[in-house]
Amino acid sequence: MRIEALITLVAVVWLTAVLCPRLTAANNLTLSSSRSPKEHFFHGEHISDLVEPLEEPHKQNTYRDMQMILRKEGGKDGLEPVECCPSVLEMVQPLGGRTREDMYVSLYQDGENIQRFYEYSCRADVLNKPCRFADRKLSNQSRCVQKYSFSYAIVQTPGSEHRRHHHREHHRFPAFSGNTVSGSGWTLDYIRVRSGCSCEVMPKPRKKKITASKARRAKSKQRQPRDQEPDFET
């Protein structure tokens, strides 16, 4: 199978993910209908479509402030849902990625045949900050956290660097045998991609309370010096 056929196969997989929302978790390619972010592309890096913060970081917003944010981010009619931890959509073209085993692998690319992925990244002004609209008592315990999922990709198999240039010279991609291309040094695997921004609330650590027995011991120690005072006869 030539490289054009392989790219077509991968394109079909991506198109299926876009058309079938149930495959979003596996491929992370379905675009949310409630979002309208701009797509950005950059070689090997991430570029965020940053939205200017509507509130100061770590500021305890009043009810009025929250309503103003909801009106500004709720669309023209004010009917669109607003995220507690907003994310931005990015189109990225990484040179490599992390597998499910947390191993770094190089991604296949040959001229114009380059793999691109959609990612949802935490907006820079909310990442690792307290969640918006959180209850005042829980605000300092909350954080906007980057979440990850895995997307299908063509990756380099370990120890195949010496065969990489040979196949580039011939511009060929042999037929698949399972998930691995026999003798090519490339295989189909999953790599980690950013999949959204989530609000997490950490439980407040409990303070250790002095038990009643410890309190009684402390009182008894205070009484002992008084009890040991010598009695003097007059």
Say what percent of the chain tops pLDDT 70. 56
CA distance 122 to 144: 8
For residue 28, pLDDT over 50 is answered with no
Residue 25 has phi, psi (to 5 degrees) of: -60, -35
pLDDT the model gives residue 111: 85
Q: In this predicted structure, which of 19-28, 119-128, 197-206 has the lowest mean pLDDT? A: 19-28
Torsion, Cα 160 161 163 169, to 10 degrees, reads 140
| Average confidence (pLDDT) over 136-151 | 94
| Average confidence (pLDDT) over 39-58 | 46
Q: What is the CATH number of domain 62-158+184-204?
A: 2.10.90.10
Nearest to 13 by CA among 115, 103, 112, 149: 115
In Å, how far are 95, 163, 200 from 158, measured between CA atoms?
A: 15, 11, 36
Mean pLDDT estimate for the chain: 73
Range among 49-53, 113-117, 166-170, 212-216 rated most confident: 113-117
